[in-house]
Amino acid sequence: MRFVDEFRDPEIIHRTAEELKRQVDPTRHYRFMEVCGGHTHAIYRFGLKDVLPSNIELIHGPGCPVCVLPMGRIDDGLSMAKDRQVVFAAFGDMMRVPGTTGSPLEHKARGADVRIVYSPSDALKLARTNPDKQVMFFAIGFETTAPSTALTLMRARAEGIKNFSVFCNHVTIIPAIRAILDSPDMRLDAFIGPGHVSTVIGCRPYEWIALHERKPVVVSGFEPLDMLQSILMILRQLNAGEARIENQYKRVVPWEGNSAALKAMAEVFQLRPYFEWRGLGFISQSALKIRDEYAEWDAEHRFHIPGIRVTDPKAAQCGEVLKGVLKPAQCKLFGCECTPEHPVGALMVSTEGSCAAYYNYEHRKAMVMNIAPAA
Partner 1 sequence: MRFREPQIEMAHGAGGKASRRLVEGLFVPLLSYGSAESLGDAAHVDINGAQIAITTDSFVVKPITFPGGSIGELAINGTMNDLAVSGARGEAMVVTFVLEEGLPTNLLEAEARAMGEAARKADVKIVGGDTKVVEHGKADRMYISTTGIGRPLPGVMIDPHSVRSGDKVILSGPIGDHGITILLARGELDFEAELRSDTRCILPLVEAMVQAAGPGIRWMRDPTRGGVATSLNELARDCRLGINLLEESVPMRDAVRGACELLGLDPLHIANEGQFLAVVAPEYVDVALNALHMVEGGQDAKIIGDVREQPAGSVLVTTGYGGSRIVDMLVGDPLPRIC
CA distances from 175 to 100, 325, 352 (A): 27, 18, 20
Q: Is 370 left (phi over 0), alpha (psi -120 to 50) or beta?
A: left
Stretches 5-13, 82-90, 163-171, 293-301: which one binds partner 1 (CB under 8 A)? Answer: 5-13
How many residues sit in the footprint of partner 1 (CB under 8 A)?
Answer: 36
- What does each C-alpha distance from 316 to 67, 69, 348, 367 come to in angstroms? 13, 15, 11, 22
Residue 185 or residue 341: which is nearer to partner 1 going by CB? Answer: 341
CB of 148 to partner 1, least distance (A): 12
Minimum CB–partner distance for residue 44 and partner 1 (Å): 7
Q: To the nearest whole angstrom, how small is the minimum distance from the Cβ of residue 85 to partner 1?
A: 17
Could you give the angle at which helices 259-268 and 146-159 cross, rounded to 10 degrees? 60
Closer to partner 1 at the Cβ: 44 or 277? 44
Q: Which is nearer to partner 1, 319 or 328 (CB)?
A: 328
Q: How is 77-146 classified by DSSP, letter by letter?
A: HHHHHTSTTEEEEE-GGGTT--BTTB-HHHHHHTT-EEEE-SSHHHHHHHHHH-TTSEEEEEEEESTTTH
**Cα(237)–Cα(32) distance, integer angstroms:** 13
**DSSP bridge partners of 245:** 217
Q: Out of 18, 28, 29, 47, which residue is the one contacting partner 1 (CB under 8 A)?
A: 47
**By CB under 8 A, is residue 132 in contact with partner 1?**
no
Instruction: For the CB of residue 276, give the shortest distance to partner 1 in the complex, in Å.
Output: 27
State in angstroms the smallest separation of the CB of 302 from partner 1. 25
Q: Which stretch binds partner 1 (CB under 8 A): 103-111, 149-157, 192-200, 256-264?
A: 103-111
* H-helix segments, the chain: 10-23, 37-45, 65-68, 71-81, 104-109, 120-129, 146-159, 173-182, 195-201, 207-213, 224-239, 259-268, 299-302, 318-323, 354-357, 364-368
Q: Is 1 in the site for partner 1 (CB under 8 A)?
A: yes
Please state the separation of Cα 118 from the chain's center in Å: 16
Per CB under 8 A, the segment of 109-117, 160-168, 179-187, 265-273 that binds partner 1 is 109-117
Q: Are 238 and 24 in contact (CB under 8 A)?
A: no
* Residue among 19, 83, 106, 320 that touches partner 1 (CB under 8 A): 106
Task: For residue 94, count other CB atoms closer than 10 A to its CB.
Answer: 26
Give the contact letters, 336-365, x = binds to partner 1 (CB under 8 A), - = no: ----xx---------x--------xx--xx
User: Does residue 320 bind partner 1 (CB under 8 A)?
Assistant: no
The yes or no reply on residue 279 touching partner 1 (CB under 8 A) is no
Q: Which range touches partner 1 (CB under 8 A), out of 39-47, 160-168, 305-313, 321-329? A: 39-47
Residues that bind partner 1 (CB under 8 A): 1, 4, 8-10, 13-14, 17, 44-48, 50-51, 92, 95-96, 105-106, 109-110, 117-119, 122, 224, 340-341, 351, 360-361, 364-365, 368-369
